[in-house]
Structure 1
């Protein structure tokens, strides 16, 4: 590396990796900043007295990479890649290499701080307090607020910033004992809802809860083609890019469907640009072509989907034997979930036009109708075909802005399977995101492109449940909380009305952990203008002064990942991962577990928190069930990793819905749903017309980002976000090493659009709408679709020259999905009139 003042202009990949991997010596002690140049020139070697611990990097990129944490004299000197049992998951990225600077970031919170009395939240006026004073005040506020407004008035809000058993278990236990309310995450739930609606929620024999199901990424090499839908794997999911590239090198073709010419699009055999928010339409068009060509897999439809089921026009339910006058028969078995008797009441289908019970050996029709006692019934497959005619192919071509020749070319590809459809989290971040996913899965079911190697649709992320099974009462020793369960995107509505589905809801205190909702959720203004002002007390536990912490009354400095022992129980590696404690927390920082343990006696709950952190982890991962699964504490501590799904990533990758078995009520793929329910309870309720439409694939335009919206004439740009290499949402936002490479908020704009607006390259602009604004540096890019703007997500309000990105988004949501719609945003752009310095 040269000795120039700033390395940005000449920083190569080789020099970056060399610099990032260098040992940081005593000069990088707690509180000392360090630049790239200082690291390269001043770092001494300390390997002789080095200790190496196993760490798990666990942000919500969900890579959950294993790292070697190198420690000298009680300080972390560097991080390097550590091996997974499956070598394909052994990796480290620039964020993982920069942990030293994150741990010793000069901006890190050092001690508890209380907002100065009489100052406004967000004004940045703080006073240092002791831990005893901080926890005593918090306990007093909890008791005071619950005494005045009821137990449910205290609420805990969390997200996915720290997926681990110890933190989650301790907070869940405290919440249940307090009968407090839970404010649940609404992030990336469009794909979760759409996937589970038609294909079911999978919990495997190893207690792996497949929240986002799909074949393991190592299976992509078994496909003929990989199609990515809004998934910029090279940047947003770096940990999986090598798997896609290795598949390409083995001869697998890559098709990228994305409005933007992304990094992965530049590596593709075919890039198909699409209008933002129109993915569902394209999938419906592809199904029309499949049916026109009679390319559907009839045998798969008969055996593994609800295609042959008869649907009653009277109530939309499937026809069962009991509808013919024969009462259900008690099987003598009990449903382990509901503890209710299992009744035999088989579905009725047509076979050769005759009404019969659907039993083994029956070859059902998938088309046809029947009238029973004046009730007309039709095969679900006929209803699917009818729903796909909502728009003609010419209309779909026009609305998606994809030429018909290209749609037909894509149809050739999807028919010639197996195809590995890799869905990113971009297409689901619109109000219609649930249908985007469920329709994609339906396309695959139509072609029999599910349940076998190389044939998949979806994402790949799971949660291991063994820790909650060692002692199922650990997180709720006196039973579940009687408080409310409110979706975070619905919190504004609840606060404004004081009502939640007919129940009084006086939320007056928030405790926020593992989350930064003012930054990483939609509609910052909903928090700063409505939610936070309605709170009598706000606590945030974090290691940095985030946007959320800045609007709190008490900020608690927490330990970072390598400063406590923990078991990470989620991610794309599908493993329980043991994280060793490498160093003591610096300054006065404490782990979340220790904070709760010290708070509990002040609430009269001390008897429930007598274990140490290690003892609590051992308790959660002990007992017959974890031991039977090989996921007990002793095994985890020794091996550092235990897989919680079947198979082996390298030799026998996990196959979703293997053999055409689906964890649904029918045991089949349900492209038609007789029972339609929202993902969670929320104040916005679906109408009967919406429920009827939701039974089948259909297209609803985005709530805001669509040309027919009258607001389009005022705000003509779709504002989209990307997930950059240099942060994970808002994590790593201040890390000096990464900020030298990526110093400030930017917005990418097509040069033609910029010139029409009088905007120069590298000049500051203001993106704005009727909700708010954000100031950033404009970057010309031909990769950006005209009529769209793209910004990297995660910049704090203090890092903008004005405003912030989430001020422009909305908390309006689809009543079924109840999701943050990050991409469903319109805005305009203009030169910024402020000073550029």
Structure 2
């Protein structure tokens, strides 16, 4: 429970009773519930919020609890609608009224729709992920036949989703943080949980106290690496090569779980020797070779028991050469074994910088841990072929039979929402047909198709059939630059940007400023803050924040529905994203779909006969700010795939992807080392440049928060002492960081806490924070044919080659 003495002290200092509030953060990283007190409408105290039935999980990081300082800072906020009067980027605007602003948006939007409805484009990101305000602009696009974009590719998060989806059918197969206590060993690939997933870090510390061994592989000595039992410095982007070598060692020592693989993975499934395609029956079922019958048979996926075992003994063959209906074939396990056989510890050592003995020891420790867990998140996948690490990590977990087992698995995130089914934001519970936002009135608009389907595509786009999404007017974000410049695959005449600092958080800022934005007739940015993107917009609308709005959140730690009502007064003339769309709807004939206030939409969501709301009193939930779902799980650590039922085409853990056979990537491999476009610059620009997430900020939304500036007030470039000495750079020197695309200047931070050959900087800084330039001038968005085939190219923010010199 919360410490009441601190609150009493604050109250006594103020000399009067304070008004309590509870609210849930909406920016990325999001969904931490906080509570506090205010006096005369001003916040005077904040602490982690209380989570019903799970008090041990009360949490909120320093970013969440400090951010209100920026929300109330009028110098940082957009105070009223502004129309551009000078050149884009000049910062020259004039104040206009809301009526004038909405009229202008309606005029430009209507002109684009008249030309081609798809040329009107709405782009949302992660600046406010409270559900109504986050989805509102995309819902408007759905109402009028406009387009939107699947965001994960351009933000660099999608590769992790794709890799896990390929193998498990789940883009985010995260074990609950409490499950750390069930692990004997945990491997972290790049994930800096201590700084970036703070609520889970306490459980990692408790597991270490219990005796769990923590090993962190990271080019940087991150805060998580600093608390590890073993930090293994590794060259950037080479984790996949190391895991392939680990599997080599495990298979060579016969430590892989062959029974588990036969029962629950694609390992026994037969594929053609000729073209790599799966062997199927006439009905389309997958086949395996039954050693007891000495014949091919249908290999339906097996549902397992959540008991930590490998299942019954199997008669499926995991190796051999067979013939089915005249087609020579073999089990997919042979392909995996053949591929990892190439990856000896010695070969991996040359690539990763980790010595062969360490790789071999790590592999043996992992296989013998019984069980061991893997953590990998988006940081380790922001490289060319970034899907490889989550794909190979999920394969390694299955190889040892750790998937779907307490203390095991390969996770992207922790905490999750342990409930009987999915989030109410999408399909409701247990796969039942519940409309988006728990409201058919919100869901079925426009052409009558479910907005939930549309929105799911916007957030994900895991399909290998982009035409299916294009017909739904959702496009790959990897296509957005080409779309603006060439009109392919869709023209962009009108662009509405919400909850996003597009220029600052997208790769290759020069290309955006010089080619993408000039090709778009009219750009609107709705944002609480006067961002870099706002400066290049034609119209800037003042959006209110999650501290000022009515909204709900259905994701985050625990099985909760979180309700926000305004904590502070609206700053300036700001309005919520939902309210802005409601005003626009009245001007373009869509008012029937936008006929409620923000509060009324929240109440509609809560007024439900869904099992989650059993016993729910709407007014009580609104006042308390949180509802513990009636169908939630509160008494144990949770993890996915305990029944070994995988949402993959085969219904099994699927390390073999026939779609990638033409690329030589049908089983996990390391393509990045061969065809990375940055390789051509290796001699000219020998340093790899990483822009990591740190404890003070996620993107630009935490800029200029006084409490967080205690941690860092300006950007610094981390550089190894050997690399610094070779360039005559000392700690604190101003350096110029550059490549053929651009440059920036900042101070050097010389530290042994980064591998030689790499430099790093916390991301989320804007141009005003640099002495000169910006790091996004150096990044790129090179298309990846493999990633385009399976989904869309992931922005390789960390696969950037640079050189530095003393300025």
TM-score by length of 2: 0.87
Distance 1:646 1:251 in 2: 33
Native 8 Å contact 2:249 2:364 kept in 1: no
**2:646 — aligned with what?**
662
Report the aligned-residue RMSD: 2.7
Among 110, 127, 134, the alignment partner of 2:94 is: 127
Contact 2:125 2:499 in 1 (8 A): yes
Q: Provide the C-alpha distance between the structure 1 equivalents of 2:232 and 2:709, rounded to a whole number of angstroms.
A: 33
Shift of 1:420: 1.5
SS of the equivalent of 1:771 reads coil
Q: Classify 1:289/1:179 alpha carbon distance in 2 versus 1 (closer, same or farther; 3 Å).
A: same
Aligned pair in 2 of structure 1 residues 393, 725: CA closer, same or farther (>3 Å)? closer
Q: Is the 8 A contact 2:437 2:443 kept in 1?
A: no
Which residue of structure 1 lines up, in the alignment, with residue 199 of structure 2? 239
Pick one of 582, 595, 616 that aligns with 2:601: 616
Q: How far, CA to CA, are the matches of 1:145 and 1:818 in structure 2?
A: 28
- Distance of 1:105 and 1:721 partners within structure 2: 27
Tell me which moved more, 82-91 or 359-368: 359-368
Query: Is the Cα–Cα contact under 8 Å of residues 612 and 629 in structure 2 kept in the other structure?
Result: no
| Structure 2: distance between partners of 1:517 and 1:712 | 29
Q: 1:168 to 1:236 in 2, by over 3 A?
A: closer
Q: 1:116 to 1:474 in 2, by over 3 A?
A: closer
CA distance in 2, matches of 1:284, 1:347: 27
In the TM superposition, residue 587 of structure 1 has moved relative to its aligned partner by 1.5
Native 8 Å contact 2:188 2:215 kept in 1:
yes
Q: Which SS does the other structure have where 2:222 is aligned?
A: coil
Q: d(CA) in 2 for partners of 1:260 and 1:135?
A: 48
Q: How far apart are residue 606 of structure 1 and its match?
A: 1.8
- Mapped pair 1:288 → 2:241: no
For 1:169-180, list aligned pairs within 5 A.
169-180=135-146
Hey, what does 1:193 align to over in structure 2? Answer: 162
Indicate if the aligned counterparts of 1:170 and 1:475 stay in contact, CA closer than 8 A: no
Q: Residue 636 and residue 349 in structure 1: after superposition, are their counterparts in 2 closer, same or farther (change >3 A)? A: farther
- Once residues 264 and 47 of structure 1 are traced to their aligned partners in structure 2, the CA distance between those partners, rounded to angstroms, is 42
Whole-angstrom CA distance in 2 between matches of 1:23 and 1:560 = 29
* 2:797 counterpart (816, 822, 831): 822
Structure 2 CA distance for partners of 1:645 and 1:319, relative to 1, 3 Å: farther
Report the equivalent of 2:55.
87
State the 1:495 CA deviation. Answer: 2.2
Quote the residue 1:144 is aligned against.
111
Moved more, 734-743 or 259-268: 734-743
Report how far residue 346 of structure 1 moved: 5.8
Distance 1:736 1:699, change over 3 A: same
**How far, CA to CA, are the matches of 1:162 and 1:106 in structure 2?**
19
- Structure 1 residues 72 and 618 mapped into 2: Cα distance closer, same or farther (>3 Å)? same
Query: In the alignment, is the contact (CA less than 8 A) between 1:163 and 1:570 conserved in 2?
Result: no
1:357 aligns with 2:309: no
Shift of 1:473: 5.7
Please tell me whether the aligned partners of residues 214 and 459 of structure 1 are also in contact (alpha carbons under 8 angstroms). yes
The 3 A distance-change label for structure 1 pair 387 and 21 is farther
1:121-166, CA deviations, whole angstroms, 9 ceiling, x for partnerless residues? 111111111111111111111112222x311111111122222221
In the alignment, structure 1 residue 585 sits paired with structure 2 residue 570: yes
Question: After the TM superposition, which residues 346-385 of structure 1 pair with which residues of structure 2 at under 5 Å, given as runs?
Answer: 347-352=287-292, 353-358=294-299, 363-385=315-337
Shift of 1:309: 1.1
CA-CA distance at 1:315 after TM superposition: 4.2
Matched, 1:46 2:46: no
Pick the aligned partner of 1:733 from 703, 706, 710.
Answer: 703
Aligned to 1:491: 480
Identify unmatched segments of 5+ residues in structure 2. Answer: 303-311, 417-422, 429-434, 455-470
SS at 2:350 equivalent: helix
| C-alpha distance in structure 2 between counterparts of 1:261 and 1:644, whole Å | 40
Cα distance in 2 between the residues matched to 1:145 and 1:72: 47
- Picking from 481, 495, 513, the partner of 1:510 is 495
Does 2:142 correspond to 1:167?
A: no
Tell me which residue corresponds to 1:112.
80
Secondary structure, aligned partner of 1:829: strand
C-alpha change, 1:345 and 1:719, in structure 2 (3 Å) is closer
| Correspondence for 2:637 among 648, 653, 659 | 653
| Aligned CA distance change for structure 1 residues 737 and 356 (closer, same or farther; 3 Å) | closer
* Equivalent position SS for 1:108: coil
Q: Distance in 2 between matches of 1:22 and 1:424?
A: 40
Specify which of 66, 85, 108 is matched with residue 98 of structure 1.
66
**Cα drift, residue 645 of structure 1:** 11
Given the alignment of the two structures, is residue 754 of structure 1 paired with residue 724 of structure 2, yes or no?
yes
- How far apart are residue 47 of structure 1 and its match? 6.1
- CA deviation digits over 1:636-686, x for unaligned, max 9? 53664456797646x31111211322222222101112356xxxxxxxxxx
1:555-704 to structure 2, matched below 5 A, reads: 555-573=540-558, 575-625=560-610, 636-637=621-622, 640-642=625-627, 648=633, 651-675=635-659, 689-690=662-663, 693-701=664-672
Deviation at 1:46, TM superposition (A): 3.0
| Matched-pair contact (CA < 8 Å) for 1:222–1:454 | yes
Residue of structure 1 in register with 2:37 after alignment: 70
1:171: Cα distance to partner? 2.1
Structure-1 residue corresponding to 2:383:
430
SS of equivalent to 2:707: helix
Unaligned runs of 5+ in 1: 1-16, 26-43, 202-210, 323-327, 329-343, 677-687, 833-837
Report if aligned partners of 1:58, 1:162 keep a CA contact under 8 Å in 2.
Answer: yes
In 1, the alpha carbon distance for the partners of 2:396 and 2:78 equals 53
Partners of 1:469 and 1:626 within 8 A in 2: no
Give how far 1:541 is off: 1.0
Which has the larger displacement, 753-762 or 69-78?
69-78
Q: 2:751 aligns with which of 764, 770, 781?
A: 781
Over 3 Å counting, the alpha-carbon distance change for 1:393 and 1:740 in structure 2 is closer
Count of residues in correspondence between the two structures:
746
Task: Indicate the SS of the match to 1:696.
Answer: coil
Q: Confirm or deny: 8 A CA contact 1:78 1:97 kept in the other structure.
A: no
**Per-residue CA distance 1:315-343 (angstroms, 9 max, x = gap):** 43322332xxxxx3xxxxxxxxxxxxxxx
CA contact under 8 A between 1:224 and 1:454: conserved in structure 2? yes
Q: Could you give the per-residue CA deviations for residues 390-418 of structure 1, whole angstroms, max 9, x where no partner exists?
A: 44332112111111110111012211221
| Partners of 2:736 and 2:600 in 1: CA distance | 52
- Residue 684 of structure 2: aligned partner: 714
Whole-angstrom distance in 2 between the partners of 1:556 and 1:253: 50
Alignment of 1:313 onto 2:298: no
After TM superposition, give the deviation of residue 96 of structure 1 in Å. 2.5
Q: Report the Cα offset of residue 634 of structure 1.
A: 6.5
Q: Which residue pairs with 2:392 in the alignment? A: 439
CA contact (8 A) 2:70 2:702 kept: yes
Aligned to 2:23, which of 52, 55, 60? 55
Greater Cα offset, 71-80 or 696-705: 696-705
Q: 1:825 offset after TM fit, Å?
A: 0.5
Further displaced range: 300-309 or 357-366: 357-366
Task: Report the secondary structure of 1:512's partner residue.
Answer: strand
Q: 1:221 aligns with which of 159, 172, 181?
A: 181
In 1: Cα distance, 2:231 partner to 2:360 partner: 14
| Alpha-carbon distance between aligned partners in 1 of 2:539 and 2:583, rounded to the nearest angstrom | 16
Among candidates 442, 453, 458, match of residue 411 of structure 2: 458
Residue 810 of structure 1: aligned partner: 780
Whole-Å Cα distance in 2 between the matches of residues 115 and 628 of structure 1? 45
Deviation at 1:272, TM superposition (A): 1.0
d(CA) in 2 for partners of 1:398 and 1:276?
13
In 2, Cα distance between equivalents of 1:125 and 1:21: 45
- The equivalent of 2:806 in structure 1 is 831
**Cα distance in structure 2, aligned partners of 1:645 and 1:295:** 43
